[in-house]
Copies of this chain bind each other. A is one copy, B any other.
Amino acid sequence: MRLSRFFLPLLKENPAEAQIVSHRLMLRTGMIRQEAAGIYAWLPLGFKVLKKIEKIVEEEMARAGSIQLLMPTLQLADLWRESGRYEDYGQEMLRIKDRHEREMLYGPTNEEMITEIFRGTVRSYKDLPLNLFHIQWKFRDEQRPRFGVMRGREFLMKDAYSFDVDEAAARKSYNRMFTAYLNIFSRLGLKAVPMRADTGPIGGDLSHEFIILADTGESAVFCHEDLINMPAPGNDVDWDNLEHIFEGRTALYAATEEMHDDARFKAEVPEDKQVSARGIEVGHIFYFGEKYSKPMKAVVNGPDGEITVHMGSYGVGVSRLLGAIIEASHDEAGIIWPESVAPFDVAIINLRQGDEACDAACEKAYKALQSAGRDVLYHDTDERAGAKFAAMDLIGVPWQLIIGPKGLADGQVELKNRATGERLTVPFEDGLAQLSKA
């Protein structure tokens, strides 16, 4: 993409309304624009990152055997009356009447609807286990939306739902999602710790939140330090046999505020390993057995009669993840994107736009890197060099390829790594080769 043809409305000043760094940086970089309280438009830079995160989530869900579909944003109130949650949900549920005065709502989650789909389509225990997921916009009418996409009202969520014949099978499904989540967050460059959590309005008796530590986190969390840097299981696992991964992660103490037991924490965790910090929730998984399947009559034919299915649900806050990643990875100059989700892989900075040799070298690099499959932003405007550096640092492109007349005279270009700040002068072709495989 040539910057001159892209739409990147950077702000010169820090927006006054932003209280936390991710909100400030998302506004300054023109990633989002507020259209109403807690409702944002995703401008092209933000949209690109959102899509890259979505793709990683989709890939890891598919690998864990979950099948993608898409449920609508609006739902019938009557569906929620079947589970008893229509009255329970309170003011966070956005209630709507259509032109025929039918009661509807903007879905804050989809347990009821997926249960309805299941009971209308699946007949036999032989079709289980089944795991379905979608990535769709949800709405929660927060009393006081704040912190940008971290606590918005219209937000993008990945939610998955598992169906099994009994609790033992449902625990296997839970472990599959538990493992997939560790892999997802690892690919996003995040150190997410699963913590015993409260089940809240979803219900059930087994639940983990996946938490990343950050000073701006919304709640207090407590865990054993060793959990923070544990490597993700990766994909070379036996998906039918993951209990050891679950055990390995849950043997050490980790709990959110609501589930925290301070006496146990201090007894179980050596003092120098006690981490008491703020955390951001990026995922939340639940096993809730028959909570929805029983009142909604989601049953299958088993070998010895009807079986009420055991269910779980598994959420990832996709739009919130942009904020969480920025909270975890930024510096004074701006965002430092992990390479996996950066809006562009490489920024080409032309130090003297209009200079014949510089323009030709930049064009050549632009084409070569694109051919190598890299997502390239060519900063091709006639702004001065300092402004170009600042802009590319601000939006956090992992690599800068800096091309100027002085270096070019010797056949040299400069590579800059955004995360380390390291700058390296190399022959032009070497620079291309290195960035082609970066």
Which residues of chain A (39-71) have a CB below 8 Å from chain B? 39-44, 46-47, 50, 65, 67-71
- Contact call B117/A41, Cβ cutoff below 8 A: yes
A76 interface residue (CB < 8 Å to B) = yes
Contact of A427 with B by CB under 8 A: no
Cross-chain contact A130 with B99 (CB below 8 angstroms): no
> Which among A28-36, A180-188, A254-262, A389-397 touches the partner chain?
A28-36
Contacts of A143 in B (CB 8 A): 99
Contact A7 B132 (CB under 8 A): yes
Q: Can you name the residue of chain B whose Cβ is closest to the Cβ of A110?
A: B41
User: Range of interface residues on chain A?
Assistant: 35 or more
B67–A42 contact, CB under 8 A?
no
| A357 proximity list for chain B (CB < 8 A) | none
Known interface pairs A9-B122, A41-B117, A113-B41; A35-B71 also in contact (CB < 8 Å): yes
A 83-97 binary contact with B (CB < 8 Å = 1; else 0): 000000001101010
Contacts of A91 in B (CB 8 A): 99
Minimum C-beta distance from A96 to chain B (A): 5
Q: Are A35 and B98 in contact (CB under 8 A)?
A: no
Closest to A48 in B: B68
State whether the Cβ of A302 lies closer than 8 Å to any Cβ in chain B: no
- Which residues of A, 150-195, contact B by the 8 Å Cβ criterion? 153-154
A39 touches B132 (CB 8 A): no
8 Å CB contact of A69 from B42, B71, B72, B102: B42
Q: List 5 A-B contacts (CB under 8 A).
A: A7-B132, A9-B122, A33-B120, A72-B154, A96-B106
**Interchain residue pairs A-B with the least CB separation, the first 6:** A9-B121, A42-B70, A91-B99, A41-B71, A99-B141, A39-B72
Beyond A5-B67, A35-B76, A44-B68, 8 additional contacts (C-beta under 8 Å) are: A7-B121, A30-B121, A41-B70, A73-B154, A91-B99, A94-B96, A98-B153, A99-B143
